[in-house]
Copies of this chain bind each other. A is one copy, B any other.
Amino acid sequence: MSLRVGIVGGGQLARMMIAPAVELGLDVRVLAEEPGMSAAIAATATGDYRDLETVRAFARDVDVITFDHEHVPQDVLRALGDDGVAVHPGPDALFYAQDKLRMRAKLAELGMPQPEWAAVSDAAALQTFIDDNGGRAVVKTPRGGYDGKGVRVVASADEAADWLDALEPGAELLVEELVDFSRELAQQVARTPSGAFRAYPVVETVQRDGVCAEVIAPAPRAGERLREMTERIGVAIAQGLGVTGMLAVELFETTDERVLVNELAMRPHNSGHWSQDGAVTGQFEQHLRAVLDLPLGDPAPTAPWTVMINILGGPVSDTLEARIPAALAAHPGAKVHTYGKAPRPGRKVGHVNLVGDDLDIVVGDARVVAAHFDD
């Protein structure tokens, strides 16, 4: 009988696990939030991932549960564990992905390089942190943020007054130093329940309006010192937090050649989409292998450079699909991935991967292909 993998969440990350699951011969099943989502082709159940009985029924006949996102509540995760279900990543690890304050505290304990940070619950404490850190800071709601949501750059505590007022008793906001970074990087690591791990090459990510726009793999101008440092950070976090499956560590590279941990994701991640077409083992296959405790695959790139460009929003004047012929015609090596999602401003609806030997050419060509999906 095939190994059965249950994925909670029907978004594009679940969708992109389907191709390698089918190739490897896994029996892949998805609990989607609603009908017609990105991963609908593998959806065997529809329902609310916050409802224990819904998730429990879905998990009853699979070998492992994994996730499209990190939002399944701790009590649901722990109840599955009590039922004897293999859950990867497990609740102890996901705890840190679900709460950025806990994450900062744990990374401090592990000695990881981080921006200056503090937990604040009132305007005075927030203002003090701002004043102590150059007059500006980044305020984050510890839970529920993604793609720039729940993140605000402020110059005074007043600008976060609504968030402070809305805090439950005992709750806190995370405030971080506004890092003077030269660029953003991402380090991915796969880790199995048995403790085996594999690190991907560090990549450069380019964000626009808080959303990943482009990725270059491997990161240009990344010397051995930087590569070893980011890999050591990724592996230390994967091990220290007990992550199983794919871990992405988003990093700031500072103007003074340090790297600081920005965010964590415990699942396949946008910064790793390049690996579908540019690595021996893509991150979606690797995640499945990791959560099933199978031997991990080689994460090495298959070409000198791979560039990934997100399709953000997509065309309004016609459909994404209508643009595919022109996009494919623009370059015979272009790999176009779409997510089966309706276009909406800023929404991630697909991406383009392109590999090659000359970075400037690959970047230029990839942008030409991706531009066919703009309005």
Contacts and interface: CB of A to CB of B under 8 A. Distances in A.
A229 interface: no
B321 A2 contact: yes
Given A302-B302, A328-B297, A332-B296, A321 B22 contact: no
Contact of A337 (B25, B280, B339): B25
Interface in A327-368: 328-329, 332-340, 350, 355
B320 A25 contact: yes
A91 interface: no
A325 interface: yes
B337 A24 contact: yes
Contacts of A24: 324, 336-338
Interface residues of A, number: 45
Given A2-B321, A42-B41, A340 B294 contact: no
A3 interface: yes
B41 A333 contact: no
Contacts of A319: 1
A18 B25 contact: no
Nearest to A298: B332
Contacts of A296: 332
Oligomeric state, in number of copies? 2
A171 interface: no
A20 B355 CA distance: 17
Contacts of A15: 22
A23 interface: yes
B340 A2 contact: yes
A198 B328 CA distance: 14
A289 B233 CA distance: 42
A295 interface: yes
B25 A332 contact: no
A281 B336 CA distance: 11
A303 interface: yes
A298 B337 contact: no
A298 B329 CA distance: 11
B333 A297 contact: yes
A19 interface: yes
Contacts of A297: 328, 332-334
A42 to B, nearest CB: 6
Contacts of A28: 41
Given A24-B336, A296-B332, 11 more contacts: A3-B321, A16-B23, A22-B41, A23-B276, A24-B324, A24-B337, A198-B332, A294-B325, A295-B332, A297-B333, A298-B333
Interface of A: 1-3, 15-16, 18-20, 22-25, 28, 41-42, 198, 276, 280-281, 289, 294-298, 302-303, 319-321, 324-325, 328-329, 332-340, 350, 355
Q: Which 7 residue pairs spanning A and B have beta carbons closest together?
A: A25-B338, A19-B19, A298-B332, A295-B329, A295-B328, A298-B333, A280-B333
